[in-house]
C-alpha cells in the first residue's frame, strides 16, 4: 500500500514537473516579448541583457495605437478573419456532411484526395496567377475578396475535418427524422448540426488562427493603408534600417490576444468537439 | 426514391466546396505550373518562352546550391520537426488528459504558440538564438552550463537544430489539441480490461491507446507534414538558409528564387518538386496505413 | 436550432459588413487619381511621405495621390507584380537595382521631355544627372536621395580605450582588433547575410585596388575582375582576418537588425551603414555616445569605392496622366522638399543648394557625407553591374561563397575563382 501511494506521489510529481517544463518552454519567448514591449527604446538592446525594464511603461502600446493606427488594422483583420472562417465552416459543413453520407465510396476517396492535394501547393505557385485573375475582375484592395480567398484556402482542411465529425454521428438519426417528414436539409440542421456544434467550434478556431496570421496573400491583395490587416502592419515595422522593436513587440502581444481568447473560449469545445467526432483519415 | 433524392442533395452540398476550390486553387495552380517550364524572370518579361526542363536542370545542377544538400536538409527539417512535434504533443496531451486546477488557463498559455505568425517566430527566435547577445546563450552561461557562447545560427553544427527547435515550439499545440481530443475518446473500459490482463502503463499505451487513436495520428501527421514542408518563414527569418546553405530547404530556396532573384520560372520548378514529393509520399503513406484498416 | 440561426445571422451580418466596407470608390469627375507605391518604407518614412502628399493635394486640389506602402521585404516584388498584372499604378519608387528591370519590361517612361524645362535643372548635382540616366542613356528615374555608407563610431568606447577614430581600412582593422576581447566585445559589427556585399564587404575588401571602373565595381579599368587583382586578393584576405580577429563568430548570420543590436548594446564600436540608421539610432543611443565619419580609405590608394546607391521616382507607362504625375514627382524632388525628406528620413539630398543652404547637411553627423560628396577623387561612388541579368541572383551566390570562406571551408583563391566564373569576367 505504502509503495503504491509512494509511486503515485512520484507520478504526480513527475507529471507536475513535466507540466512546468512545457509551460516554461512555451511561455519563455512570450515573456521576453512582453518585457520588451514595456521597455523604453534605449533599453531594448543592452548587453548584458536586461530582463526587467527599469522604468516599465505602456508607451509602446500608446505609440502602436496612435502612430500606427493599430486599432483599425485589428478591426480589418477581425472582419476578414471572422467572415472568412465562418464562410469556410459554413461550406465545409455541407461538403463534409455530403462526403460522409454519400454511398459512392470510390468517388469519395477521389474527392478526398482532391482536397488533400490542395495542401501540398506552396502559396507562391498560386499567387501570381490568382493575383492576375483577381486584377482582371477589379477585385484587388478589397477586404471582401480577401476574405473569400482566405475562406477557400482553409476550406479543404475544414472539409476534411468536418467529414470526420459527421462520420461518427450515426446515420439512423437523420433517417428517423426523414421518416418523420423532414427533408434531408431539415434533418441536417435540426438533428445533426446541434450534435456537431463543438466540431464547428473546433474547425472555426483552426480556420481563425490560420487566416489571422496570413501574410503573403494579404500583402499582395491589399494596397490601401486603411485596409491593411494585422500581419501586414506588423511586418511593416521592419524597415531597411532596422526593426522598430518597441511597436513591434507591443503589436505582437496585441495580435496574440484575439487568438488566445479564441483558444481559451474554444478550448473546451475543441476538446469536446474532437471527442465527439474524432479526426478520422 | 429517398436514396435518389438524397444523392442529389449531397451533390448540391458538394458543389460550393469544389467549385470554390477549383476556381481559387486548382485553376491558378495549373497556370502557375506552366511557369516551371518557362524562362519567366522578372528581369525581362517581354519575351517569355518555353524552355522545357531547363529550370529543373538548372536547380539540380547548380553547384553553388547543391541540390542533394538542400534535399537532405528538407528531409531532416520535415521529419525531425514532425517527429518531435508529435512526441512532445503526445506527451502534452497525456499530461492534460486528466483535469487539474487551472487546466483552462494552462492550456491557453501552452497552446498560444500555434497562434504566432511564421515571420514573428523567425524574428523572436533569431534574437533568442543570437550567438553574441542572445537570450539562450545568456541563460546557459548564467547557469554555468556552457562557458563560451554557442553560435546557434552561425555554426552549421547547430543551425539546423536551432531552426527545428523553433518549429517544434510552434507546432506542439497542433498535436497537443488533436491528440488530447482523440485520447478522451478512448473508452475507459478498454483500459480497465487491459489492467485486468495485467498490462502496465507502458504496454497499455501501445496496445490500447495508440491503436485506438491511429486514424487521428495518420491524418494529423500527414497534414502536418505537408504544412511543415511548405513553411519556409521560420528558416527565412532566422538564417535565410545559411550559414552556407546548411539550413536551406526546398521552400526557403523557392522563396529566395522568387523574392531575391525574381526568377519565377525556377521558383515554380521548385514548387513542382515540392508538390510531387508530397503527393507521392501522401499516396504511399495512405496506401501503407489504410491496408490494415479496411 | 436557435444557436444555428444565431450563427447564420452573425455570418451574414459580418459578410454584409465587409461588403459595405469594400466598395467605397470615389469617382469624382475632374479629380485625377494617382497611385504611388513606395518600396523602402518604414513607419516614420511612410508618415513623412503621407504628410508631403497631403501638402501636395492641398496645393493641387485636382490631383489625388494614393500612397501604397507594402512592407519593406515584399515591396519590390509587389510593385513588379502589380505592373505585370496591369494593376493601376502611376508612380513607382525605383532605385539603382530595379530601374533596369522596370525599363526592360517597358514599365517606365522617359522623363527627358519634362526635364528639358525643369526649373531646378541647374541646381541638380552632376551625379544626380548621372543617376537619372544610369540606364538607357535617358532619364527614366528622377533621383530623390542617395544612400552612402558612413562609418558609425561609438565614441564613448573609443575614448575609454584611448583609441583614435580610424581613417584608413588598416586603422579600422587595427582599432577593431584592439577593441576585441574575444568574449563580450568585438570591434566591428559585421554584416553577414542579406546583401553583405552591397553594405560593406566589397567596400572593405576592394579599397586598395587602384583602378576600379566607375561603371562596374567588379571590373578594373583594364578589364580585370576586381577581386582577381593582387590588391583585391589581399583585401579579401584582410576581410577574412577582420572576421576572425575582430568580429563575433556569430556575425556570419547577422543582418541589419543584429548589426544594430551589436552597435547599440556596445558589443561592437564600429558599424558601416547608411544615414537612414541615424533616426533609428537616435531613439536608442544619445549623440554623445556615437558619431559618423567618412568611411575609411585604402591606405595604399588613398581612395575608397562604394556603391552608388540612389533611389528616386519614375512614371509608369500605363499612367494615364503623366503630366499630373510629373507635377507630383517634381514636387517631391524640389530642393525644399528634398531637404525636408532627407533630414527627417536620413538620406543624402540630390541638389547642390541643399548642401550649401541648409546648415543641417554640413554640420554634425552629416558632415561625414558632405565631406564624401565633395571629394569625389577620394570617395568614389561606383555602379554595380545593375544592367546585367545576373545581378539579382548575385546576392545569394555571393553570400553562399562568402559564408563558406569565412567559415574556412574554401580558400580565398577558390572563392574568387567562383565569383569570377559567375560574372564571366
Whether B44 sits inside 8 A of C396 (CB atoms) is: no
* Minimal C-alpha gap between A69 and chain C (Å): 11
Q: Does A52 touch chain B (CB under 8 A)?
A: no
Minimum Cα–Cα distance from C265: chain B residue: B133
Asked if B231 and B81 touch (Cβ cutoff 8 Å), the reply is no
How high is the pLDDT of residue C16?
47
pLDDT value, residue C11: 52
Largest Cα separation within chain B, whole Å, is 79
Query: Can you read off the three cell numbers belonging to residue A220?
Result: 499582395
Tell me the residue length of chain A.
Answer: 281
pLDDT of residue B288: 82
Judged by CB atoms closer than 8 Å, whether chains meet at C283 and A41 is answered as yes
Confirm or reject contact between A281 and chain B (CB < 8 A).
yes
A234 has a pLDDT exceeding 90: yes
Walk me through the domains of chain C, giving residue ranges and CATH numbers: 33-147+309-374 (3.40.190.10), 150-308+378-423 (3.40.190.10)
Strand partners, C220: C212
CA distance A266 to A207: 12
Residue C390 at interface with chain B, using a CB cutoff of 8 Å: no
* pLDDT tens column, B55-89: 999 999 999 999 999 999 999 999 999 999 999 99
Q: Does A148 touch chain B (CB under 8 A)?
A: yes
| In the predicted structure, residue A205 carries a pLDDT above the cut 50 | yes
Instruction: Give pLDDT < 70 ranges for chain C.
Output: 1-29
Q: Which of A17-21, A166-170, A271-275: highest mean pLDDT?
A: A17-21
Inter-chain residue contact B42 with C400, CB threshold 8 Å: no
For residue range C316-361, list pLDDT tens digits in order. Answer: 999 999 999 999 999 999 999 999 999 999 999 999 999 889 888 8
Write the ipTM.
0.87
- Radius of gyration, alpha carbons of chain A: 24
Neighbour-count burial of A166, counting CB atoms closer than 10 A to its CB (0-12 exposed, 13-18 middle, 19+ buried): buried
Residues of B within 8 A of C399 (CB-CB) are: 240, 242
CB atoms within 10 A of CB C282: 15
C35 shares contact with chain A (CB less than 8 Å)? yes
Q: Is C73 on the interface with B (CB under 8 A)?
A: yes
Q: Inspect the interface and report whether the beta carbons of A26 and B258 lie closer than 8 Å.
A: no
> Count of CB contacts below 8 A, A vs B?
257
Whole-number Å distance between alpha carbons of A39 and A31: 12
Domains of chain B: 67-264 (1.10.3720.10)
Number of CB atoms found within 10 A of residue C366's CB:
23
Q: Kindly indicate the confidence band of residue B24, based on its pLDDT and cuts at 50, 70 and 90.
A: very high
- From the list C35, C37, C42, the residue facing A239 with the nearest CB is C42
How confident is the model over C98-122, as pLDDT tens digits?
999 999 999 999 999 999 999 999 9
B136-140, B152-156, B285-289, C245-249: least confident range: B285-289
Go through the domains of chain A in sequence order and give each one's CATH number.
Answer: 60-277 (1.10.3720.10)
Residue B108: CB atoms within 10 Å: 16
Distance CA B38, CA B49 (A): 6
Quick one: pLDDT at residue A4? 67
pLDDT the model gives residue B170:
95
Q: Using an 8 Å Cβ cutoff, are C286 and C365 in contact?
A: no
| A278 band by pLDDT with thresholds 50, 70 and 90 | very low
Long-range contacts of B135-142 (CB under 8 A, 24+ apart): B135/A32, B135/A49, B138/A48, B138/A49
Of residues A267 and B143, more confidently modeled: B143
Distance from CA of A222 to the nearest CA of C (A): 9
pLDDT at A98 over 80: yes
Between B81 and A3, residue with greater pLDDT: B81
Model pTM score: 0.90
> Has residue B126 got a pLDDT over 60?
yes
Tell me the shortest Cα–Cα distance from B61 to chain A, in angstroms.
22
| pLDDT single digits (tens) B194-247 | 888 887 878 888 888 888 788 778 878 988 999 999 999 999 999 999 898 999
Distance CA B122, CA B241 (A): 12
| Higher-scoring residue by pLDDT: B286, B4 | B286
The neighbour count for residue C222, using CB atoms within 10 Å, is 8
Q: How far is C74 from C39, CA to CA, in rounded Å?
A: 8
pLDDT at B58: 94
**Averaged pLDDT, B11-27:** 91
The predicted structure's pLDDT at residue A271: 64
Q: Please provide the DSSP assignment of C34-80 as one string.
A: EEEE-SS--HHHHHHHHHHHHHHHHH-TTEEEEEE---HHHHHHHHH
Which residue is closest to C255 within chain B, CA to CA? Answer: B239
Q: Do A148 and B6 touch (CB under 8 A)?
A: no
pLDDT at residue A215 above 60?
A: yes
Amino acid at each position: 500500500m505504502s509503495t503504491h501511494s509512494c509511486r503515485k506521489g512520484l507520478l504526480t510529481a513527475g507529471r507536475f514537473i513535466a507540466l512546468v517544463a512545457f509551460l516554461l518552454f512555451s511561455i519563455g519567448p512570450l515573456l521576453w516579448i512582453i518585457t520588451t514591449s514595456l521597455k523604453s527604446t534605449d533599453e531594448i538592446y543592452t548587453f548584458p541583457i536586461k530582463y526587467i525594464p527599469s522604468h516599465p511603461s505602456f508607451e509602446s502600446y500608446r505609440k502602436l495605437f496612435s502612430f500606427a493606427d493599430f486599432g483599425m488594422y485589428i478591426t480589418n483583420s477581425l472582419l476578414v478573419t471572422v467572415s472568412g472562417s465562418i464562410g469556410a465552416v459554413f461550406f465545409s459543413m455541407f461538403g463534409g456532411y455530403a462526403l460522409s453520407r454519400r454511398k459512392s465510396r470510390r468517388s469519395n476517396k477521389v474527392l478526398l484526395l482532391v482536397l488533400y492535394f490542395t495542401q501540398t501547393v506552396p502559396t507562391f505557385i498560386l499567387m501570381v496567377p490568382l493575383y492576375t485573375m483577381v486584377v482582371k475582375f477589379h477585385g484587388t484592395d478589397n477586404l471582401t475578396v480577401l476574405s473569400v480567398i482566405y475562406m477557400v484556402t482553409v476550406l479543404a482542411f475544414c472539409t476534411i475535418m468536418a467529414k470526420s465529425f459527421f462520420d461518427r454521428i450515426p446515420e439512423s438519426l437523420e433517417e428517423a427524422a426523414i421518416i418523420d417528414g423532414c427533408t434531408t436539409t431539415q434533418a441536417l440542421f435540426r438533428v445533426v448540426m446541434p450534435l456537431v456544434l463543438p466540431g464547428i467550434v473546433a474547425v472555426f478556431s483552426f480556420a481563425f488562427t490560420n487566416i489571422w496570421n496570413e501574410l503573403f496573400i494579404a500583402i499582395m491583395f491589399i494596397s490601401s493603408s486603411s485596409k491593411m490587416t494585422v500581419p501586414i502592419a506588423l511586418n511593416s515595422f521592419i524597415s531597411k534600417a532596422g526593426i522598430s522593436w518597441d511597436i513591434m513587440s507591443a503589436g505582437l502581444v496585441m495580435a496574440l490576444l484575439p487568438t488566445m481568447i479564441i483558444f481559451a473560449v474554444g478550448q473546451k469545445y475543441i476538446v469536446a468537439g474532437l471527442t465527439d467526432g474524432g479526426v478520422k483519415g | 426514391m429517398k436514396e435518389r433524392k438524397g444523392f442529389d442533395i449531397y451533390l448540391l452540398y458538394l458543389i460550393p466546396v469544389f467549385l470554390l476550390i477549383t476556381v481559387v486553387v486548382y485553376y491558378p495552380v495549373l497556370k502557375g505550373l506552366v511557369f516551371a517550364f518557362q524562362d519567366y524572370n522578372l528581369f525581362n518579361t517581354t519575351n517569355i518562352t518555353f524552355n522545357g526542363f531547363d529550370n529543373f536542370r538548372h536547380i539540380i545542377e547548380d553547384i553553388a546550391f547543391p541540390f542533394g544538400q538542400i534535399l537532405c536538409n528538407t528531409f531532416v527539417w520535415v521529419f525531425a520537426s514532425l517527429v518531435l512535434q508529435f512526441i512532445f504533443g503526445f506527451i502534452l496531451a497525456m499530461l492534460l488528459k486528466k483535469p487539474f486546477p487551472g487546466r483552462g488557463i494552462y492550456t491557453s498559455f501552452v497552446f498560444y504558440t500555434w497562434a504566432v505568425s511564421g515571420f514573428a517566430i523567425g524574428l523572436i527566435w533569431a534574437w533568442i538564438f543570437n550567438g553574441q547577445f542572445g537570450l539562450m546563450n545568456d541563460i546557459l552561461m548564467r547557469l554555468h552550463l556552457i562557458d563560451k557562447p554557442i553560435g546557434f545560427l552561425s555554426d552549421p553544427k547547430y543551425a539546423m537544430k536551432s531552426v527545428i527547435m523553433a518549429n517544434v515550439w510552434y507546432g506542439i499545440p497542433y498535436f497537443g489539441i488533436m491528440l488530447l481530443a482523440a485520447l478522451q475518446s478512448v473508452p475507459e473500459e478498454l483500459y480497465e480490461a487491459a489492467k485486468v490482463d495485467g498490462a502496465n502503463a507502458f504496454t497499455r499505451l501501445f496496445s490500447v491507446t495508440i491503436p485506438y487513436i491511429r486514424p487521428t495520428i495518420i491524418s494529423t501527421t500527414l497534414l502536418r507534414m505537408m504544412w511543415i514542408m511548405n513553411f519556409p518563414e521560420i528558416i527565412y527569418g532566422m538564417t535565410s538558409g545559411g550559414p552556407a546553405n546548411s539550413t536551406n530547404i526546398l521552400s526557403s530556396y523557392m522563396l529566395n528564387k522568387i523574392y531575391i532573384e525574381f526568377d519565377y520560372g525556377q521558383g515554380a520548378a521548385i514548387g513542382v518538386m515540392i508538390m510531387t514529393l508530397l503527393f507521392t509520399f501522401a499516396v504511399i503513406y495512405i496506401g501503407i496505413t489504410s491496408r490494415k484498416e479496411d | 436550432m436557435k444557436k444555428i440561426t444565431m450563427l447564420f445571422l452573425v455570418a451574414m451580418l459580418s459578410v454584409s459588413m465587409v461588403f459595405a466596407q469594400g466598395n467605397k470608390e470615389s469617382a469624382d469627375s475632374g479629380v485625377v487619381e494617382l497611385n504611388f507605391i513606395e518600396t523602402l518604407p518604414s513607419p516614420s518614412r511612410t508618415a513623412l511621405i503621407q504628410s508631403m502628399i497631403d501638402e501636395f493635394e492641398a496645393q493641387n486640389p485636382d490631383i489625388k495621390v494614393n500612397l501604397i506602402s507594402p512592407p519593406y521585404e515584399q515591396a519590390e516584388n509587389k510593385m513588379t507584380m502589380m505592373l505585370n498584372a496591369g494593376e493601376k499604378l502611376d508612380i513607382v519608387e525605383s532605385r539603382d537595382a530595379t530601374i533596369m528591370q522596370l525599363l526592360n519590361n517597358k514599365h517606365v517612361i522617359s522623363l527627358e521631355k519634362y526635364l528639358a524645362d525643369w526649373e531646378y535643372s541647374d541646381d541638380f548635382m552632376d551625379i544626380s544627372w548621372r543617376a537619372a540616366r544610369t540606364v538607357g542613356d535617358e532619364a527614366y528615374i528622377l533621383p530623390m536621395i542617395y544612400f552612402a555608407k558612413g562609418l558609425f563610431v561609438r565614441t564613448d568606447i573609443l575614448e575609454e580605450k584611448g583609441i583614435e577614430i580610424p581613417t584608413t581600412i588598416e586603422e579600422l582593422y587595427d582599432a577593431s582588433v584592439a577593441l576585441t576581447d574575444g568574449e563580450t566585445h568585438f570591434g566591428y559589427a559585421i554584416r553577414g547575410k542579406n546583401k553583405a556585399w552591397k553594405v560593406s564587404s566589397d567596400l572593405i575588401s576592394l579599397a586598395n585596388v587602384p583602378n576600379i571602373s566607375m561603371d562596374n565595381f567588379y571590373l578594373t579599368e583594364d578589364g580585370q575582375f576586381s577581386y582577381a587583382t593582387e590588391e583585391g586578393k589581399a583585401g579579401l584576405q584582410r576581410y577574412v582576418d577582420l572576421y576572425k580577429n575582430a568580429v563575433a563568430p556569430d556575425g556570419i548570420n547577422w543582418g541589419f537588425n543584429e548589426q544594430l543590436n551589436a552597435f547599440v548594446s556596445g558589443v561592437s564600436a564600429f558599424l558601416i551603414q547608411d544615414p537612414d540608421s541615424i533616426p533609428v539610432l537616435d531613439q536608442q543611443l544619445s549623440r554623445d555616445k556615437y558619431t559618423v565619419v567618412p568611411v575609411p580609405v585604402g591606405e595604399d590608394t588613398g581612395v575608397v569605392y562604394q556603391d552608388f546607391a540612389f533611389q528616386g521616382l519614375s512614371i509608369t507607362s500605363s499612367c494615364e496622366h503623366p503630366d499630373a504625375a510629373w507635377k507630383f514627382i517634381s514636387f517631391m524632388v524640389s530642393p525644399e522638399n528634398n531637404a525636408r525628406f532627407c533630414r527627417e528620413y536620413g538620406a543624402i539630398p540630390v541638389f547642390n543648394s541643399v548642401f550649401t543652404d541648409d546648415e543641417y547637411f554640413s554640420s554634425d553627423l552629416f558632415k561625414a557625407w558632405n565631406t564624401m560628396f565633395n571629394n569625389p577623387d577620394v570617395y568614389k561612388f561606383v555602379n554595380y553591374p545593375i544592367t546585367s541579368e545576373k545581378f539579382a541572383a548575385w546576392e545569394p551566390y555571393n553570400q553562399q561563397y562568402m559564408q563558406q570562406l569565412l567559415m574556412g571551408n574554401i580558400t580565398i583563391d577558390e572563392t574568387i575563382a567562383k565569383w569570377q566564373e559567375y560574372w564571366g569576367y
